[in-house]
Amino acid sequence: MKHVSALQRMTGSATGARRPFLLFLPLVALCVIATSLARADDLPKDVLRLLLWQAPTTLNPHLSPGVKDQTASRISYEPLASFDQSGTLIPFLAADIPSLDNGGVAPDGKSVVWKLKRDVKWSDGAPFTAKDVLFTYQFITNPDVGSSSVASYKSVQDVEAVDDYTIRITFKDVTPAWALPFVGVQGMIIPEHVFSPYNNANMAAAPANLAPVGTGPYIAKEFRTEDVLMIGEDVVNTVKVIYEPNPFYRDAGKLSFKLVTLQGGGDATVAANALLRDGVVDYAWNLQVDDKTLTEMEAKGVGKVAVSFGSYIERVMINFTDPDSETPEGERSSTQFPHPFLNDKAVRQALALSIDRQKIADLYGRTGRVTSNILVAPSVFNSSNTSYAFDLEKAAAILDQASWVDSDGDGARDKDGVRLSVLFQASVNAVRQQTQEIIKHDLESIGILVENKMIDSSIFNGQANDNTNTRRHFYADIEEFAYGSKSPDPGGYMRGWTCAEAAQMANAWAGLNNSRYCNPDFDALYEASTTEMDADKRRELFIQMNDLLIEDVAVVPMVHWADVSGLRADIEGFDPTPWDSETWNIADWHRKP
């Protein structure tokens, strides 16, 4: 076992060589982006300009490490169906929605049949058939691929192409969540004739990962790396993706734009300025800027802010494994090594009591509200059994009772030679850095030392096999980010707390459980939910799962986080849903005359 130094933890380096911890990005990125955007009054009306301050790294929806990549790939790819804002299934590649009444959903809950639209073509002119759906399943579930979408297919026993336009999905058991596979962002269908040579460990080399062949309204014709920046030891790319209308799109007549450009890179303030102040883009994603600033900028009348509450929770994640211990294979935060003090529930309780959630929620204004639950949407799953408190005196008393005391007067509590000192990582974002400082101040006031680490968002939320400074590697003690369900059925989301989903080297860190939390009681509740057909009983199981995570302090939920996007005042047709990417209906976007 190798011990990893504090410097190595901060830099993510296995060598410990001294490198600058963080070269702050926003000013540099602003220059990069500003030089590539025209003046607002020079913009052609038939070009749609999108800005994602977290740059996408892939356009393959099943290798997507985060929302930024799903947002970019959803422009070109489609699922069989998706849920709208109200939770109603809307067909895309499906001819209709299966049900008990039309015979699509089996009465025993063990299978579902989807009928596909006919005469749909891929953007290269090849016909779309059921074989593509079958191949997508084989690709996603191939362990050599390490797909980020695999959680939605865990319940599937078999997928059969009955004929060219019929797909039958057979489940391992009674499955109430039959509308999880091939639906929404994890259900996008990819073409067999393009990806079949890469359905293996060589999947990262597929040219179509950056040059999609899809059935959606616009096709990416160019994925351009515009600039390369050094952030500490990490290389950060800013990118530009250029899309054109899909010449074989079935509803080509409804498309309003001759060109769609997607700029990636910078930070949330850069994006807000580009849209709300300067009007040089038409859409800016994920404006994590304090609400007072957004309101002032919105008053200029150049653009508008769209606020939509979904399922995302800004949380502090707790590492149940030791980021300072290393296996012979070089893996840290391994399930082989429990965390030296965060496995003590008393420490976790003190941590939760020392986080001023209301003060943090106030940073968000209208775009966030305090919560004590990790599962909040749909609202029927939002538990009324939990509560939160900010009580530093109680937190200190809990640590005292558990014999965590500052025995040597260095400011950090300790016990049996172990100091309460945490590395706290989060992506570069003004509100998150304010949150980190609030938490650091209060934790240190009760004797838990904190070292804040900031990581460029494209790396923090990037592909785990590219860098160890990702939230999935979690080579820190605690980390902060927002995450939620992309389906109104919370099964796939709550699966991310099961023992089997621990992110680790063996699964290329593709497991959903990057905290490596493991509780047999939680697993039992989850397994019961996978076969419970009674809606009320199943709802209660999910609430019990949420309550167990909160009682066990497996995570500290802080803010129910709104999706906050910016639109130029003349853009219409934007209709966000919490259950898909915001580009899900980009075919309907248009510019007001």
pLDDT band at 276 (very low <50, low <70, confident <90, very high): very high
pLDDT band at 27 (very low <50, low <70, confident <90, very high): very low
3 state SS of 466: coil
Nearest C-alpha neighbor of 395 from the set 445, 354, 356:
354
Say yes or no to pLDDT of 20 above 70: no
CA torsion through residues 220, 467, 32, 583, sign: positive
Mean pLDDT, to the nearest integer, of 338-359?
A: 98
**What's the CA gap between 100 and 163, in Å, rounded?**
21
| Nearest-10 Cα torsion for 9, 12, 16, 17 | -140
**CB under 8 Å to 27, separation ≥6 — which residues?**
none
For residue 567, give Cα distances in angstroms to 282, 370, 528.
5, 26, 43
* Least confident stretch, 55-64, 69-78, 408-417, 465-474: 465-474
**What's the CA gap between 403 and 400, in Å, rounded?**
5
Vertex 244, ends 487 and 255: CA angle to 5°? 70
Fold for domain 81-197?
Dipeptide-binding Protein; domain 1 (3.90.76)
Quick: pLDDT tens for 429-469. Answer: 888 999 999 999 999 999 999 999 999 887 888 776 668 99
Is-contact 32 238, C-beta < 8 A? yes
Query: Residue 579 burial (CB < 10 Å; 0-12/13-18/19+)?
Result: buried
pLDDT band at 55 (very low <50, low <70, confident <90, very high): confident
Per-residue confidence (pLDDT) for residue 256, from 0 to 100: 96
What angle in degrees, to the nearest 10, is found between the helix axes of 520-529 and 535-551?
Answer: 160
* Least confident stretch, 56-60, 167-171, 517-521: 56-60
Say yes or no to pLDDT of 219 above 80: yes
| Residue-level length of the chain | 593
**CB under 8 Å to 253, separation ≥6 — which residues?**
none
Say yes or no to pLDDT of 151 above 90: no
**What's the CA gap between 471 and 460, in Å, rounded?**
6
Per-residue confidence (pLDDT) for residue 593, from 0 to 100: 85
* Least confident stretch, 231-235, 382-386, 475-479: 231-235
**What's the CA gap between 162 and 165, in Å, rounded?**
8
pLDDT band at 235 (very low <50, low <70, confident <90, very high): low
**What's the CA gap between 301 and 281, in Å, rounded?**
14
3 state SS of 156: strand
**What's the CA gap between 305 and 242, in Å, rounded?**
25
Query: Residue 435 burial (CB < 10 Å; 0-12/13-18/19+)?
Result: buried
Quick: pLDDT tens for 509-562. Answer: 888 999 999 999 999 999 999 989 888 999 999 999 999 999 999 999 999 999
